[in-house]
Every structure is written in C-alpha cells, then in structure tokens.
C-alpha cells in the first residue's frame, strides 16, 4: 500500500485521460456494457490503471479508496504481494493445463485445500470460470442426483446472467424480459425473507416466519409441482439484491423443509464466502451446511475462477468419466487460478481475516446506525454482517418508497470525494459497503468522514 500512501484525489472525475480512453472503448465495446452515462450511474466512469491494497488509481492519477472491493473480489486487497508472487511463480512454471484430460499438480492441491476449508461434509468439487458457471453446475448436479428438474428460488436473487443462471435469478425483470423464451421455466420463485419489505405486511419476529411456512407449503403441495422439485437455491445474504440477510433460524428452518421434502439445498455463497460476513462462510452463522455450495469472487481474490462443492453422496450422481466428461470446459482448473486460490486460502487462514471482518464490520455497522439516527426519515435500514453492509434509502419513513436516486447520488458524491462504492437492491436503492477484508480502522474513519459529507449534500 506504500504506492498510494498519503495520496489524495485530484482533478475532475472523470478526468480528461479517462474521457479519452472511454471514447476509444465506446468505438469497440458493446454499448450495452460500457455506456454507463446513459444509465445515470456516474456520467462516464473512471478508467482504472493500477491498484494496491485498498486503493485504486485511474489513468488521470486520481487515487480512490475502494470500499467495493471490486464486486467483493479483492477481499485480500488489490495486488496483494502473496497473490502476485503466487501468480508470477505459476505463470513461469505452467500457465494452462488440459482441463479434465491431464490435471495439473496445482489443481489437485487446490481441490484438497478447498475441501479442507469447506464446512461439514462438503469436499467434492467442480471448477468453473464464473459464478454463473458454479450455479449452473449446481443445477445440473441437483437434476442428476434427484431426477427432478424443478428449482425453488427467491425474488431479489442474483445468480448470474448466463441463460442457465438467469433462469433462477429474479433480480430485475429487465434482465430477463428479452430472453424469456429461452429461460428455464422449471423454476418457482417465492419471496425472500426481506423483513423491511415483507410481502405479507407482517413484522418479524411476530410474523411466525410466514415466508418460511410458504416455502414449506410449496414443497409439500403437489399442485405447486412439489413432485418435480429437485432443489432449493438461495443466497444466505442477498448481495446484489440489496444486502438482505435472512432472519435468525430462517436458514435452519429452510434446511429442515428441504430434508422433509427430499430436495437438495444449494447455497450461493459466491458473494458471502471466504470471510466476507465475519465467518469463513455465511452458512456458519446458523450452523447450516447445504448439500451443494457455489463459490467464486474472493476464492482467488483476483482470478476468474469459481467452484461448486458438494457432499460425496450428491456429487456421486455424476458417475465416473469413461472417456468424455459430461461437464467440462477448456479452462477447467486453470493452473494460475488454482495457484492464486491456494495463496488466497492460506492468507485467509493465517491472517484470520474473517475475525477481522467481524470486528471491523461491527464498528462500521455501529457508525452507519449513528448516521441512520441522523437521517431517520431517509435511511430506512442498516443491515448485513461483517464487511458486507447495506444502507437502504427511502423517500420517507412512512411509505418506505425506494429512493434509487439518493443511492446513486451518494455513490457519485463519494466518487467525487475519492471513495468507491456501488448501489444495489431491486430498485437500486441500497448503498452497498464491502471493503477489502484488509481494510483498517483509519480507512473506515476516512470512509465515514466522506460519507457524512455526502449525506449532507444528497439528503
């Protein structure tokens, strides 16, 4: 982090070099991905040039404090020396393997290390390149293991945008609408336990967990397609859906429902895994171990690699490879990704980053609650676990009407002050805070100082 020590944001946002670089990019990249100015997010975005620790520098040499951890991937900080060393050493030795044909030694070592850190009896894995890959592998596994293809998933869920993952996602209709004819229709979506916006208009805990009872009823009732249900897929804390945690005992109750109905329980821990919530995996807060778990993001801390890990009994449904694997890919178990994964797991365990995330996250949560008390009519809720926190913005406390303009406005105001955060939520009304797990108290105080100023400006 010495590279950016003492640096402050300078110049306009975005600066002239960022604007010029984006003009060049717009000529070649699909506008649906790049043209963020049309979405009102932050005008033309900054163009990153380099990063270290919790800081990012753009091409105009402005320095930003990254409290997004780059979509929660850079949990160990950007360009951590141990990760850089692992990647460099592996690149000099073996950059690419041959997937399922000739496994590399580092892939074998990583698979063993992943099994050792996973909870319960989760120890048999399949590797992919993205979170959506992991989700699709889980869906395939559930179908093979149960002989049933219907999946129960949740409103507000975000599992990826490939066709298979999009079918079980229910984040925004705009993502699904153009492709509805191609999506998996063997999916039943039900309300997530989003207590602030309970669809039953009830209050927790006096609600009796009505949303959980709805799941139980659906899994039992033949008219709901229960006889075709093979799996339930859920994020223990919805990430892009607005940093929405399940209430206490809810996940344990869901696991019980799945056991009663004979369906598999799949946890999507792509966002929450590897220390983000104050435990190595979010499911550990409730002592619940799923049948299958989807992993990615912080698993390597930088490299595009994901994993599905499951119990031996469930994963045995794939059978044995007798010449052509039923599921594989060219970059399966890429050696550089596996080397980074090994180094990342070692960092997580040796530095006890989940403990740091729990302690620093609680300090940050208390400070955000103090800001909520300052703006009780506009900040409806502060929620989350560890260093995965969200602040929900509304137009007024009485109606709880979402205020996405306020969330985006805060993001823009913080960007101008040298801090990177992102909005989330079904309406874009939540300001998400997910710094690298190596963030310090001083960085948290810097963030809070700038957030307080941004709130004064926007609210």
Mean pLDDT of 268-286: 98
Give percent above pLDDT 70 in the chain: 94
Q: What is the DSSP string of 376-415?
A: TTTEEEEEEETTEEEEEEBS-TTT--B-HHHHHHHHHHHH
Question: Which domains occur in the chain, in start order?
Answer: 2-79+353-458 (3.90.1150.10), 81-351 (3.40.640.10)
Report the pLDDT value the prediction gives residue 227, as an integer from 0 to 100. Answer: 82
Report the pLDDT value the prediction gives residue 40, as an integer from 0 to 100. Answer: 44
Q: Are 313 and 142 in contact (CB under 8 A)?
A: no
pLDDT tens, residue by residue, 128-187? 999 999 999 999 999 999 999 999 999 999 999 999 999 999 998 899 999 999 999 899
Q: How far is CA 120 from CA 10, 125, 281, 284, in A?
A: 49, 14, 11, 10
* Residue 205 or 306, more confident: 306
Of 446, 425, 423, 449, residue with least CA distance to 371? 449
Angle between helices 250-261 and 210-220 (to 10 degrees): 10
Query: Is pTM, for the whole model, over 0.85?
Result: yes
Q: What is the DSSP code (8-state) at residue 131? A: H
């Amino acid at each position: 982090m010495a590279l950016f020590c003492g640096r402050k944001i300078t110049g306009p946002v975005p600066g002239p070099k960022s604007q010029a670089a984006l003009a060049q990019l717009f000529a070649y990249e699909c506008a649906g991905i790049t043209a963020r100015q049309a979405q009102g997010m932050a005008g033309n975005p900054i163009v990153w040039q380099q990063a270290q620790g919790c800081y990012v520098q753009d091409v105009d040499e402005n320095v930003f404090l990254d409290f997004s951890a780059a979509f929660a991937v850079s949990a160990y900080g950007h360009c951590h020396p141990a990760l850089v060393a692992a990647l460099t050493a592996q690149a000099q030795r073996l950059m690419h393997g041959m997937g399922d044909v000739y496994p590399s030694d580092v892939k074998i070592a990583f698979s063993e290390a992943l099994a050792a850190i996973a909870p319960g009896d989760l120890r048999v894995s399949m590797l992919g390149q993205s979170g959506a890959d992991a989700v699709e592998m889980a869906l395939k596994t559930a179908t093979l293991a149960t002989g049933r293809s219907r999946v129960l998933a949740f409103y507000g869920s975000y599992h990826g945008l490939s066709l298979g993952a999009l079918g079980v996602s229910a984040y925004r209709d705009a993502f699904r609408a153009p492709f509805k004819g191609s999506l998996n229709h063997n999916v039943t979506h039900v309300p997530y336990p989003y207590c602030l916006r309970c669809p039953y208009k009830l209050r927790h805990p006096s609600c009796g967990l009505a949303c959980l009872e709805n799941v139980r009823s659906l899994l039992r009732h033949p008219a709901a397609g229960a006889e075709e249900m093979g799996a339930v897929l859920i994020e223990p804390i919805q990430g892009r859906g607005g940093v929405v945690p399940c209430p206490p005992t809810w996940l344990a109750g869901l696991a019980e429902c799945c056991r009663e109905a004979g369906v598999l329980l799949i946890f999507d821990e792509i966002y929450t895994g590897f220390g983000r919530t104050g435990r190595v995996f979010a499911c550990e807060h409730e002592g619940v171990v799923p049948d299958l778990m989807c992993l990615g993001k912080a698993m390597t801390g930088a490299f595009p690699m994901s994993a599905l890990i499951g119990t031996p009994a469930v994963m045995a449904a794939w059978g044995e490879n007798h010449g052509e694997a039923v599921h594989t890919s060219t970059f399966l178990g890429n050696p550089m990704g596996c080397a980074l994964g090994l180094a990342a797991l070692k960092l997580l365990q040796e530095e006890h980053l989940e403990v740091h995330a729990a302690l620093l996250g609680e300090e940050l949560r208390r400070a955000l609650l103090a800001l909520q008390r300052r703006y009780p009519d506009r900040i409806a809720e502060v929620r989350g676990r560890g260093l995965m926190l969200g602040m929900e913005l509304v137009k007024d406390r009485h109606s709880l009407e979402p205020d996405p303009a306020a969330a985006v406005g805060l993001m823009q105001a913080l960007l101008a002050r040298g801090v990177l955060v992102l909005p989330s939520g079904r309406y874009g009304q939540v300001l998400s805070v997910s710094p690298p797990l190596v963030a310090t108290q001083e960085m948290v105080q810097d963030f809070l100082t700038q957030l307080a100023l941004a709130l004064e400006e926007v609210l």
